[in-house]
Structure 1
Amino acid sequence: MKRDDIQTLACPTCHGALSHEGPVVSGEIVGGSVSCSGCGARWPFEDGFLRLYREAEVRGTDKLMRYIYDGLPALHNPAVKLLLPVLQLGGSEVQLREAYGERLELGALAALAPRTDGRPLRILEVGMGAGANLGLMQRRLPKGLAVEIWGPDLSAGMLRVGRKVAAKLGMTNVRTLIADAHALPFPDASFDRVFHVGGISGMRDPRRVLAEMARVAVPGTPIVVADEQLTPELRRSLYHRVTFKMITFYDPDPHCPRELLPAGAEDVLEEQITPFYYALRFRMPARPPTRP
């Protein structure tokens, strides 16, 4: 992470501005910590990652899923690619990614450049993990468009794989950090696209995660979530019920969390995009001005 990137971040506790103290080499942070100008909290830079989260808040299914993802992170992307069609008896990984990728409307970002406030265009993937969606973004983003891609995740193991994927794709615009989706370390309305794939049903408080995604999204931008849900047509199939349970063992009722959307969410679209996955898209309206 570059030292200038600290300006994009905010304290996950109070959303105050952050400043870095420590060694920097060629503009890249290599150690030290960041501190909050508001509440005084300090956040370390360790093992190549800025860690903007509280370990005490990682509990329940959050801790379980981090343990699983940190176990064999290099196997995640190949496993999804090879096993998903077998378990579903159809519906490839490419079909899945292209379906929710279309809902992100990445091509329309060209109309926003350059931004009137002078900041770069930014995309946030909450839970970027092993970088399986980086190729999708590279394909769908308009050629030559300067966009920063931010990928917070709780699993350092998965993010290390994600960095390798970004390097292999030649993507130098990817920023990774350790952070909790329940307390995103960014200011309000700071991202032009926001999405999450494949993990919200395993988080301890999906309602809070959706609220955080809505908070950091620019009003009107598409916010997209995709995760497991068994299509109703296959609920009578013993094979599909068993294989679906295998990949959703951590959740007693995996389904689209439409009922948990923030108040005021509009342009809501819920779709079953493969036998095992839904896509949920919504937008938040512009916030009314605060009265003095």
Structure 2
Amino acid sequence: MSTRSSDPARRTDDQRQHWDGVAAGWKQWWPTIEQGAQAVSARMLELAAVAPGQRVLDIATGIGEPALLAAARVGPRGRVLATDCSPRMLAIARERAAGLGLANVDFLEMDARELEFPDDSFDAALCRWGISYLPDPPTTAAAIRRLLVPGGSFATSVWQAGPRGRPMVGLAMAAAIETFDLPPPSEPAVPASGSAEAALAQQLVLAGFTDVRVEEVALTLEFRSADDCTQYLMDVSPQFSALLLGRTSTELAEYRQRLGDRLRQYTTADGSVRVPNVAVCAAGRA
């Protein structure tokens, strides 16, 4: 997400439009995404000690994760409330919940910075990757802490800093800069190793959480081909969707070729592509 408006209402509208615009792509590519991302969701539930009968809040759920995994974990005596700013994402999440027969999860359109619930409303809270898009994560984390019962846990995740986190994104942007003659990033410095862990831990500590734990979780995204990687980025990323929209067929063919060349290091003998990624999970206790 590239929006950095200083007007909160405008920023929320931009976020909603961007994620609404790629909701169909997320639905299409969900099996690919979740095959790798389930490792992150499962670890978040463990760090947050999600258990049967609990009340759980999932913030920035997208099309329903890790809310649906949490709903299965808390069982019929528990309840999950999942929020997101994108109504189209939430519509898909509701479809998925119905398809899985999960009746203990509710979905609510709500900006992550406006969590208007009574104190002590939840036993645990989750936010997979969504905290990265907030302008003031410690303030939001402090609001989340207020919603938790004493001793309740909050678990969240971000991508590891630098190329280890999401190498495909870096390679895709390098191919775009070369293909479309774009200016290079204004700050090309490589983040220091461990910077994501340190920043995330600091955010939770500043928000008042105790017993803060931070760890890496490895995951792999698998695609049938390099062309599938390109299509995936166009379909699920607001940034790349906007970047590639309106390009000529010749430009797109050149871009696919350049990205394919960069992805060769991850290409297997049968032409499929397996890209390793690293997420950082963190949890704290209210």
Q: What TM-score, normalized by structure 2, do the two folds share? A: 0.61
What is residue 258 of structure 1 aligned with on the other side? 201
| Within-5 A mapping of 1:7-46 | none
C-alpha displacement of 1:74: 2.9
Matched, 1:104 2:48: yes
Matched, 1:59 2:10: yes
Paired amino acid for 2:283: R
2:171 to 242, 251, 265: 242
Is the 1:188–1:217 Cα contact (8 Å) retained in structure 2? yes
Matched, 1:268 2:212: yes
What is residue 91 of structure 2 aligned with on the other side? 160
What is residue 69 of structure 2 aligned with on the other side? 136
Q: Deviations over 1:140-197 (max 9, x none)?
A: 33x5x41121112111111111111111111222222221211211011110111111
Query: Cα 1:152–1:230, aligned 2, differ >3 Å: closer, same or farther?
Result: same
Question: Distance between the aligned counterparts of 1:226 and 1:66, measured in 2?
Answer: 21
Query: Cα 1:149–1:196, aligned 2, differ >3 Å: closer, same or farther?
Result: same
Query: Cα 1:138–1:57, aligned 2, differ >3 Å: closer, same or farther?
Result: same
2:32 to 82, 86, 90: 82
Query: Cα 1:128–1:100, aligned 2, differ >3 Å: closer, same or farther?
Result: same
Q: Deviations over 1:222-281 (max 9, x none)?
A: 11011222478x48x9767435999xxxxx879342222235421100011123311110
Query: Cα 1:206–1:244, aligned 2, differ >3 Å: closer, same or farther?
Result: farther
Query: Cα 1:281–1:244, aligned 2, differ >3 Å: closer, same or farther?
Result: farther
Q: Which has the higher contact order (CA 8 A, sep 6+)?
A: 2
Is the 2:145–2:207 Cα contact (8 Å) retained in structure 1? no
Identity %: 26
Query: Cα 1:193–1:244, aligned 2, differ >3 Å: closer, same or farther?
Result: farther
User: How many residues are matched?
Assistant: 202
Query: Cα 1:226–1:84, aligned 2, differ >3 Å: closer, same or farther?
Result: same
What is residue 282 of structure 2 aligned with on the other side? 280
Query: Cα 1:134–1:78, aligned 2, differ >3 Å: closer, same or farther?
Result: farther
Is the 1:81–1:93 Cα contact (8 Å) retained in structure 2? no
What is residue 7 of structure 1 aligned with on the other side? none
What is residue 103 of structure 2 aligned with on the other side? 172
Question: Distance between the aligned counterparts of 2:112 and 2:139, measured in 1?
Answer: 8
Greater helix percent: which structure?
2
Question: Distance between the aligned counterparts of 2:278 and 2:26, measured in 1?
Answer: 17
Equivalent position SS for 2:138: helix
Question: Distance between the aligned counterparts of 1:180 and 1:69, measured in 2?
Answer: 12
Paired amino acid for 1:72: V
Q: What TM-score, normalized by structure 1, do the two folds share? A: 0.60
Query: Cα 1:245–1:106, aligned 2, differ >3 Å: closer, same or farther?
Result: farther
Question: Distance between the aligned counterparts of 1:80 and 1:207, measured in 2?
Answer: 29
Matched, 1:72 2:72: no
Structure 1 unpaired stretches of 5+: 1-55, 86-91, 111-120, 247-251, 285-292
What is residue 229 of structure 1 aligned with on the other side? 160
Structure 2 unpaired stretches of 5+: 1-6, 176-186, 219-276
Is the 2:72–2:102 Cα contact (8 Å) retained in structure 1? no
Equivalent position SS for 2:151: coil
Of 127-136 and 181-190, more deviation after overlay is shown by: 127-136
